[in-house]
Structure 1
Amino acid sequence: MMIQKKTLKALALAALISASGGLGLMGCAQTKYKGTDEAASQQASAWVRINQLGYTPTSIKVAVWVSKGQEKLRRFELVDASTDKVVFKGEAGEAFGSYGPFTESYRLNFTSFTAPGTYYIKAGGATSPVFRVAADVYEGTADFTLRYMRQQRSGFNPYLKDSCHVHDGYTMYGPMPDSTLIDVSGGWHDASDYLQYSTTSANATYHLLAAYRDFPEVFGDDHQDNGLEGSNGVADVLDEAKWGLTWLTKMHPQEDWLFNQLADDRDHQGLRLPTKDDVDYGMGPGKARPVYFVTGEPQGLGKYKNRATGAASTAGKFASAFALGAQIYSGKDDALAALYSKKAQSAYKLGLAKPGVAQTAPNRAPYFYEEDNWVDDMQLGAAALHQLTGDQTYFTQAFTYGLQEKVTPWMGADTARHYQWYPFHNFGHYELAKKADDAKKAELLGFYKEGIERVYAKARKNAFYRGVPFIWCSNNLTTSFAIQSYLYRTLSGDETYAELEQANIDWLFGVNPWGTSMVFGLPDHGDTPEDPHSALTFLHQMPLDGGLVDGPVYGSIYKNLIGIKLEQPDEYAEFQSDLVVYHDDFGDYSTNEPTMDGTASLIYLLAAKEHSAREGAQAKK
């Protein structure tokens, strides 16, 4: 692994230039580069960070120059990689000063350059990796990230071509006797462990459904509904969303039953494939796992308990996913649409009956999803039901909920607890604004703007335009913030924050202190995660294609987490700091573990980027 990580830039250069007519982005990352060869990198004190996917001709195009020296930067050059000729010269502009391990930094803006091709940037003695400017840099990326979703399937797993967790599960905390067996097999594993949560699964399902609704043209049909290869006449993203919906119906099997969680942290007992999961949850090794009924009260079967206060946070998410599913399947499968409509309305009623949060349940460790907000979930549920039924009562309720949480609370904050404010952006304002009169639309979009402005107030002070706090799963927040910025821009027409929006996307694909993409295998010619916290890669070298890793955390968080020990020398050691760390290492579950819900959000974002790129290319014709 370490040899691959230090491969010469020339290999990536050759791959990019030879493929400039149609660069393949998809596949397990095998060729690594750092932007300089090994000999030069040992002497380097300055680096240029670029979006490794590349830039579209019509998009904002910014690289970031960082240095550990004291030199100032006045200008930079954009060089054609095939001829080594300078094709653009730009002014470096404002010096942003120190950030993380660096003492100086600049944003290098070359947005005005629009000619397609392969290029690299030279600035202050540093040379960037080669990148493309092309209309198709995002083409196929959303479909690529679906690979990880299929890999996360529980029940039948198409990646392993085998079944797992087929005995789930036995009930706890419900109105039925504890240990009653019910069928809740299916769904997705939440991350590299095998726990399953309604809150993240419903949110992921909504994102997949919304991606299909908003950008159907970007998705292909290369897989069947069971995830195996082969066309079935249905877009793969809709197949994946239906997999989520099917599990949600099992977790809400009747009007007054709602389950929040399958398994618990007893899962964390060594490395094994999901098909070889022999953890004993009390029913025998590899047998049924506990499924937690939503009671609205604190839960936890072991040493630790959550702080649950109600059902609405989970019920609202169920309602929104089911209602959007009903909209999409109407006319395709009316019986299924009717089922989802009924489930949406019954879930929403449970939320009305029990306002408050249904947090996930810990057991042996103090870690759980500490969700503290719920009106955003009920707002989205009501908005989706209004779209489905046309009933104005739902619109009124949704708008009232929206007034109670105008801005997702983490925006502008320096920190938050784990999943304290979830989902990380509120789709409800957008869905409601689409159906609102001009006054209410302006008010709802104003809520989005206020949140964006709070982040921008911090971001404008550093060269990476970084205003997202480095809490656990910071990449998920980054993705969600980019989505909110996109939704605001497209619905309002306001381009004020377009550069901030793009900066958050660029961060995920290499414009960060470490110069690495945060998505496994994307792009395949780049520096992407190779050693994620996963049994599949650690034991069997199985790639986690498309998985979005948790992302950087504050140094103070990293130093206080339980059980972290790096397995290899840190190839990014010179870019770590007291402010923030990221490790491409199996041992760091805090920064390098992929998450299912973060990846589902990324699918929406990448679909939006491909859609926008297609529109931009069409407009130029």
Structure 2
Amino acid sequence: MNKIFVNQVGFMPNAEKKAVLNFDAAGFQVIDANGESVLKGEATHFGTDEISGEDTYIADFSQIKNQGMYKILAGDVSSASFFVGENAFDKLMKDVCKCFYYLRCGHGLDKKYAGKYYHEPCHVSKATVYGEDVPAVDVCGGWHDAGDFGRYSTAGAVAVAHLLYAVRFFPKLLEVEFDIPKVSCEKGLLPDILAEVKVELDFLMKMQREDGSVWHKVTTFSHAPFIMPEDDKEELFLFNVSSLATADIAAVFALANTVYGAYDKEYAKLLLERSLKAYKWLEANNDAVLFKNAEGSNTGEYPENEDNSNRFWAAAALFEATGEKKYYQDALKQKPFIEAYDKGDAFKEYTGNIFTCFGWADVAGLGALSLILKDEVSELYEFVKRALIEEANRLVRNSSENGFGLCMKKENFIWGSNMELLKYLMVLTVANKLEPKAEFVNTLTAGLNYLLGCNSMDVSYVTGNGEKAFKNPHLRPTFAAKLDAWPGLVSGGPNTGLQDERAQELPKDTAPMKCYIDHVDCYSLNEITIYWNSPLVFVLAGLM
């Protein structure tokens, strides 16, 4: 079928603006809200690429700068409508931020703020410490992690980190209001983003034991069926401590200390105390304490093969927060980072795997962000700065290899491919702040265009944003309540692994970009999670 793929949300006035056609048109035109043609042009033939499977033609309409609604027309084929203007992403940003509120666990959602997505208090009972004969623990609060009701320390810490690093790099995020309950502090009221993040920080504090270590997760023993959160009455379990969780919490509490100090000194002081307590436990436990699910349990495992990247992040974050050189030296000692530093000629091949990773499994890139924020000339600072810029240059090269200008390769279309993309867009955002380049901005813009509809599925991967936004996430509350998903949720996206039964209905030779079905059963393609939303907040904050 002949289609015109375009970002269905919109463009900033001075941004590069492109649509992609999968057919040879005599020409294209841009139509305004009154049906008037405001630009005519010829589409450039790019050809067929392996990630989309489409024979692509590129329509450049960057000349359109006046505010308004538009669509692309080629022959009798029309694109979805889109907006051009300085506030093109305002609604999107508010929606993406408010998703965290809707995912709150504990004392329920207020009808005033949640509307039809209101639910009663959930998971308020104390949690049994699995395998230990000790009193049950109050760990009420935080955010449900994803389509399930689990709460996970490493995943939560990374989502919080994306949001707080966004605040540090792009303070205008503090001005975004997205209709959640206000929270008082020493200086008056917390900005909305900090009020929402505090919900998760307070929960993560409850996950820390007296000795400083941190439980890896709190869940029921098995995933709940598709019921409302308050109807999940199964016993809660706190599962084993891990050095992964302990290091991530040490890092994120140190980071939070640098943000909340301007609003509530006592709270910031508490965060730093908790960070140092976790770090002290890490120092006393040099061997990695990894995590594996209890036999028979099927809730999220979040396994990692090593804890070096976690310890690196903790050391870098504490160095940035305290200025103490000890933590800088500790960061240098973490393998394989010192090995990477010594690789020399192999640098370019190595950086993409180490210092530019912003996901839950590899967090060294988050440590790099702390070093960039410290902005103190050192060998390690220069190294991570170079790593980010080199990775951004690699992504620019990738973007030239397909008709959508997408910085991904076919091997990146894994479970949570949209997270892979958003991590790359974070790299481009930071690299452009360090060394501004039009190529970085254009590659970033093309990636955002892909996420918002300029893809061979012709779908916006953010609920409620775009004419053809996906509607059926793998998400228990909305399915149980028989409601459309609330706006602002990011889908996991196309995944060549096709790990669920519904996804396996797709032909095995489906092009990577087309390995997607908008169906609630597709947990391997269409689930949501807090750490798929959080990097989009970071990227949008950079565009602001």
Tell me which interval the TM-score lies in, with the shorter structure as reference length.
Answer: 0.7 to 0.9
Equivalent residue, structure 2, for 1:501 = 444
User: Given that residues 166 and 541 in structure 2 are in contact (C-alpha distance below 8 angstroms), is that contact kept between their aligned partners in structure 1?
Assistant: yes
1:88-127 equivalences in 2 (<5 Å): 88-89=40-41, 91-99=42-50, 102-123=53-74, 126-127=77-78
Quote how far apart the aligned CAs of 1:166 are: 0.9
User: 3-state DSSP class of the match of 2:216?
Assistant: strand
1:268-283 equivalences in 2 (<5 Å): 268=224, 270-279=225-234
Check if 1:211 corresponds to 2:166.
yes
Equivalent residue, structure 1, for 2:286 = 354
Equivalent residue, structure 2, for 1:443 = 383
User: 3-state DSSP class of the match of 1:95?
Assistant: strand
Deviates more, 1:441-450 or 1:164-173: 441-450
Quote how far apart the aligned CAs of 1:349 are: 3.0
**Alpha-carbon distance change, 94 to 345 in structure 1, aligned in 2, over 3 angstroms:** farther
Equivalent residue, structure 1, for 2:322 = 389
Which amino acid in 2 is paired with 1:361?
A: N
Which amino acid in 1 is paired with 2:139?
A: V
User: Given that residues 405 and 443 in structure 2 are in contact (C-alpha distance below 8 angstroms), is that contact kept between their aligned partners in structure 1?
Assistant: yes
Which amino acid in 1 is paired with 2:153?
A: S
Equivalent residue, structure 1, for 2:528 = 594
Q: When the two structures are superposed, what TM-score results if normalisation uses the length of structure 1? A: 0.75
1:266 to 222, 242, 261: 222
Which amino acid in 2 is paired with 1:185?
A: C
1:192 to 147, 150, 157: 147
**Alpha-carbon distance change, 565 to 65 in structure 1, aligned in 2, over 3 angstroms:** closer
State the alpha-carbon separation in 2 of the partners of residues 411 and 100 from structure 1.
26
User: Given that residues 355 and 365 in structure 2 are in contact (C-alpha distance below 8 angstroms), is that contact kept between their aligned partners in structure 1?
Assistant: no
1:128 to 79, 82, 95: 79
Equivalent residue, structure 2, for 1:84 = 36
State the alpha-carbon separation in 1 of the partners of residues 193 and 20 from structure 2.
34
State the alpha-carbon separation in 2 of the partners of residues 605 and 124 from structure 1.
35
- Total equivalences in the alignment: 512
Equivalent residue, structure 1, for 2:236 = 289
State the alpha-carbon separation in 1 of the partners of residues 398 and 263 from structure 2.
46
1:141 to 74, 92, 103: 92
- Could you list the runs of 5+ residues in structure 2 that have no partner in the other structure? 341-349
Deviates more, 1:361-370 or 1:163-172: 361-370
Quote how far apart the aligned CAs of 1:250 are: 0.7
Which amino acid in 2 is paired with 1:243?
A: V
User: 3-state DSSP class of the match of 2:59?
Assistant: strand
1:430 to 354, 369, 373: 369
**Alpha-carbon distance change, 427 to 272 in structure 1, aligned in 2, over 3 angstroms:** same
User: 3-state DSSP class of the match of 2:439?
Assistant: coil
1:407 to 351, 354, 359: 351
1:539 to 480, 484, 496: 480
User: 3-state DSSP class of the match of 2:525?
Assistant: coil
Check if 1:476 corresponds to 2:419.
yes
User: Given that residues 261 and 292 in structure 1 are in contact (C-alpha distance below 8 angstroms), is that contact kept between their aligned partners in structure 2?
Assistant: yes
**Alpha-carbon distance change, 63 to 178 in structure 1, aligned in 2, over 3 angstroms:** farther
**Alpha-carbon distance change, 114 to 129 in structure 1, aligned in 2, over 3 angstroms:** same
User: Given that residues 51 and 63 in structure 1 are in contact (C-alpha distance below 8 angstroms), is that contact kept between their aligned partners in structure 2?
Assistant: yes
User: Given that residues 549 and 591 in structure 1 are in contact (C-alpha distance below 8 angstroms), is that contact kept between their aligned partners in structure 2?
Assistant: yes
Check if 1:165 corresponds to 2:120.
no
Equivalent residue, structure 2, for 1:583 = 517
User: 3-state DSSP class of the match of 1:58?
Assistant: coil
User: Given that residues 410 and 421 in structure 1 are in contact (C-alpha distance below 8 angstroms), is that contact kept between their aligned partners in structure 2?
Assistant: no
Which amino acid in 2 is paired with 1:289?
A: L
User: 3-state DSSP class of the match of 1:266?
Assistant: coil
Which amino acid in 2 is paired with 1:320?
A: A
Equivalent residue, structure 1, for 2:346 = none
User: Given that residues 57 and 134 in structure 1 are in contact (C-alpha distance below 8 angstroms), is that contact kept between their aligned partners in structure 2?
Assistant: yes
Equivalent residue, structure 2, for 1:224 = 181
State the alpha-carbon separation in 1 of the partners of residues 205 and 174 from structure 2.
28
**Alpha-carbon distance change, 563 to 226 in structure 1, aligned in 2, over 3 angstroms:** farther
Check if 1:527 corresponds to 2:468.
yes
CA-based RMSD: 3.1
Equivalent residue, structure 2, for 1:325 = 256
**Alpha-carbon distance change, 101 to 258 in structure 1, aligned in 2, over 3 angstroms:** closer
User: Given that residues 383 and 394 in structure 1 are in contact (C-alpha distance below 8 angstroms), is that contact kept between their aligned partners in structure 2?
Assistant: yes
Equivalent residue, structure 1, for 2:246 = 315
Quote how far apart the aligned CAs of 1:341 are: 0.5
Quote how far apart the aligned CAs of 1:245 are: 0.7
Quote how far apart the aligned CAs of 1:99 are: 4.4
Q: 1:498-547 deviations in whole A, cap 9, x for unaligned?
A: 22211211111101111111111124xx2112222223222323333221
Equivalent residue, structure 2, for 1:14 = none
**Alpha-carbon distance change, 400 to 110 in structure 1, aligned in 2, over 3 angstroms:** farther
Equivalent residue, structure 2, for 1:11 = none
